Amino acid sequence: MSLLEIENATLRFGGLVAVDNVSLQVNEGEVFALVGPNGAGKSTIFNLISRFYDPAEGSIRFDGKDLLKHTADQVPGFGIARTFQNIELFEQATVLQNLLVGRHRHRTTGLLSNIVFSPKAYREELRHRAAVEEVIDFLNLQAYRDKMIGGLPYGVRKVVELGRALASEPKLLLLDEPASGLSVEETQDMAFWIEDIQTQMGISVMMVEHDMGLVSAVSNRVMALADGKELATGTAAEVQSHPAVIEAYLGTGEISKTGTSRA
Amino acid sequence: MRFVFKTSYDADISLFKHRAQAVWYALLLLLVLATPLYFVAIGDAYLLGEITGMLILAIAGMALMLLTGHTGLPSLGHATFMAFGCYLNINLLGAGLPWLIAFPLSGLIAGALGTMIALPVLRLHGVYLALATLAMSILTSDFVVIAEPWTGGIAGAAVPDINIFGMEINRYSTPYKFYYLVLAVAILIVWFYRNLLRTPTGRSFTAIRDSEISARAMGINLTRTKATSFFLSATTAGLAGALFGHSAGYVTNETFDLVMSITLLLMIVIGGLGFIHGAFFGAIVVGIIPVAIANGRTFLSTTFDVNINVPGLESALFAFILVCFILFEPMGLYGRWLKIRTYFELFPFYRKDMFKRQKSYLKTDRVQ
């Protein structure tokens, strides 16, 4: 059964068609990768799912519910968590506090019980703390638990951001370039984690990634995009050998007659 | 150097990091509780009044700290909320309500009014929000004049004494009782504030401060959370205003002016943005400077027969100190204290960039 269904989504920024009539399904328990050259509309599709952008046409359904009827801050409530291409962590907080914010959708106490720190608020804090510790354990973040984000190296921040998304116990995890800027070893760790997230936690993963090594290692299905249009969908090997994809990345070998070129 | 071995989740949730810290705060509490004894001994409560004034400023500082330091929303209009609290308190007391009801109620109504004003303004970011609240601050004194039946207009209004179950409290006739009352309010607000910061509400505030976009992606409703922060901030400012009224005894349209709003902002920047301690450190600095200037003048004129009567000396000094802090210590006094402490804790491994901030607190309005 498909968890996320995007049908004929189109998004225009003025004259530019960022996402052009794209349809895709992410099935329960699969890793789905979006690949394509820069400006292909991959991150834009993420922002459509996150409801940061409104599509001009088309529908987005998650778990049978129409996401377009909801606002950005209601999306995590359905069980969609995401990371950002240029890490968006809470810089002046510790790793622990960042992960705790990820638990926001599971919050059950209101303002009043927070202010007086009622027993209910205390029990809730203990629960959140325990859940976050599992994530810390899973991602080996113990050494950084009380460190401020501002002083952490890039690779660790990337992991913390993944942790923050995991802390919300999502059904679907959106990873925007999880391996960009990571070393070879860190990328391998990331691949193992994505596998574990899929197989052990049963979370579906949708990711945007340029590193084809990582994409082929972890994804069940891959969709290639260029200029907002779907080029091909299939296994990593199928997509990589698809003529339209090769053309998008490498060109046709002919000098363009129209004077436009693809980045 | 101290190593804290955490053996339960409570270690991350409790108010104090370790026992030694709890002991230090207990000692501080004893000190502030015993302070009046000194003034009883010397038989002059003038300086105790100044200390009480500092505590009231610290409460107002905490109000602004929550909004600016923890939610990242600058406000140049907090004197307005203090004015709301003060005049509401006067009117509610005048209507015959007991102080124990009138005081919290004036804070809550000030909070509600503040939120109503804030809702349209909250769509603005950074410097635009600062400008909008600045306008509010400028309008305040005019509104006080217009609302003469309730505020006494230009002539001003006398603030009734506090009466708690028959116990009369007045700043001048019973300075010790007034001190303890203000102290109790301050401690209660600190406790609320600390609780807030260790629970989801406070975390959603700091999340908005550091990254609005990812706060939304974590399921935080920006408008509602900002409005909550504004409500709590305006409520606290209202309470501070009510206490300020009791402390001043008489308030006019010029009491809660723009200078007061700016002083509050100055206070929290000097004290250290984003720390509850910062509100107190800032209040101490702001409270001490006028006293220091007055004493310095007296000293110069009596010892060297030099008379300095430069108008605006106080404001100039404030401005100079603020500029120095922004240039040399953006984290404020509390930040400086943290650095000194870390230097000795880690000696000799302290690095200069350990407290480097990547983004300034105002940059909440970035989009992807």
pLDDT for B364 equals 40
Q: Whole domain around residue A201: which residue ranges?
A: 26-54+66-79+173-263
- DSSP letter for B9, please: T
In the structure encoding, which two tokens stand for residue B160, read together? 């009734």
Same domain, A93 and A73: no
Domain contains B80: yes
Domain contains B12: no
User: To the nearest whole angstrom, how far is the Cα of B192 from the nearest Cα of chain A?
Assistant: 5
Average pLDDT score, chain B: 89
Q: Which amino acid is at A213?
A: G
pLDDT for B312 equals 78
Smallest CA-to-CA distance from B220 within B231, B229, B212 is with B212
Domain contains A123: yes
Instruction: Give the residue from A53, A73, A100 with the most B CB atoms within 10 Å of its CB, the best one to mutate.
Output: A73
- pLDDT tops 70 at residue B358: no
Same domain, A262 and A182: yes
Domain contains B183: yes
CB contact under 8 A, A102 and B218: yes
- What tens digit of pLDDT does each residue of A141-197 get? 999 999 988 888 899 999 999 999 999 999 999 999 999 889 999 999 999 999 999
Same domain, A71 and A194: yes
pLDDT for B157 equals 92
Quote the number of domains for chain B: 1
Q: Do B152 and B94 meet the contact criterion of CB atoms below 8 Å apart?
A: no
Quote the number of domains for chain A: 2
The domain boundary residue, chosen from A132, A149, A169: A169
> Which CATH number goes with the domain that contains A142?
3.40.50.300
Domain contains A130: yes
- Percent of chain B clearing pLDDT 90 (strictly above): 60
C-alpha span between A97 and A129 (Å, rounded): 10
Same domain, A229 and A193: yes
* Stretch A63-84: mean pLDDT: 94
pLDDT for A256 equals 55
Domain contains A2: no
Same domain, A74 and A95: no
CB contact under 8 A, B218 and A125: no
Stronger pLDDT, B89 or B346, i.e. the higher one: B89
Smallest CA-to-CA distance from B236 within B362, B67, B72 is with B67
- pLDDT tops 50 at residue B4: yes
- pLDDT tops 90 at residue A261: no
Nearest CA in chain A to B207: A90
Domain contains A154: yes
Domain contains A233: yes
- pLDDT tops 50 at residue B363: no
- pLDDT tops 70 at residue A105: yes
C-alpha span between A147 and A126 (Å, rounded): 20
Q: Do B137 and B76 meet the contact criterion of CB atoms below 8 Å apart?
A: yes
pLDDT for B1 equals 60
* Stretch A213-229: mean pLDDT: 94
In the structure encoding, which two tokens stand for residue B2, read together? 């101290």
- The mean-pLDDT minimum among A173-187, A199-213, B118-132, B254-268 falls in B118-132
Same domain, A201 and A245: yes
- Which chain B positions have a beta carbon within 8 Å of A100's beta carbon? 200, 203
Domain contains B278: no
Q: Parallel, antiparallel, or unpaired: how do β-strands A204-208 and A31-35 relate? A: parallel
pLDDT for B366 equals 40
Buried b (16+ CB within 10 A) or exposed e, B101-127: ebbbbbbbbbbebbbebbeebbeebbe
User: To the nearest whole angstrom, how far is the Cα of B247 from the nearest Cα of chain A?
Assistant: 27
- What tens digit of pLDDT does each residue of A231-259 get? 999 999 999 999 999 888 887 766 655 55
Same domain, A96 and A157: yes
Query: Model confidence at B88, in pLDDT bands (50, 70, 90)?
Result: very high
Same domain, A34 and A146: no
Nearest CA in chain B to A151: B354
Same domain, A84 and A73: no
Element holding B186 (H helix, E strand): helix B175-197
Domain contains B203: yes
- Which chain B positions have a beta carbon within 8 Å of A122's beta carbon? 13
Distances (CA, A) of A219 to A22, A147, A198, B18: 20, 33, 10, 46
The domain boundary residue, chosen from A169, A190, A215: A169
Domain contains A94: yes
Domain contains B92: yes
* Stretch B118-126: mean pLDDT: 83
pLDDT for B357 equals 59
pLDDT for B362 equals 39
pLDDT for B192 equals 97
- What tens digit of pLDDT does each residue of B258-272 get? 989 999 998 999 999
Determine how many CB atoms are found less than 10 A away from the CB of residue A47.
Answer: 23
Domain contains B268: no
- What tens digit of pLDDT does each residue of B285-335 get? 988 888 888 888 888 888 888 777 777 787 788 788 888 888 888 888 998
CB contact under 8 A, B13 and A72: no
Same domain, A160 and A31: no
Domain contains A155: yes
Query: Model confidence at A1, in pLDDT bands (50, 70, 90)?
Result: low
pLDDT for B361 equals 38
The domain boundary residue, chosen from A116, A149, A169: A169
Smallest CA-to-CA distance from B115 within B278, B246, B228 is with B228
Domain contains B58: yes
Domain contains A145: yes
C-alpha span between B285 and B258 (Å, rounded): 19
Same domain, A46 and A119: no
Q: Whole domain around residue B198: which residue ranges?
A: 45-261
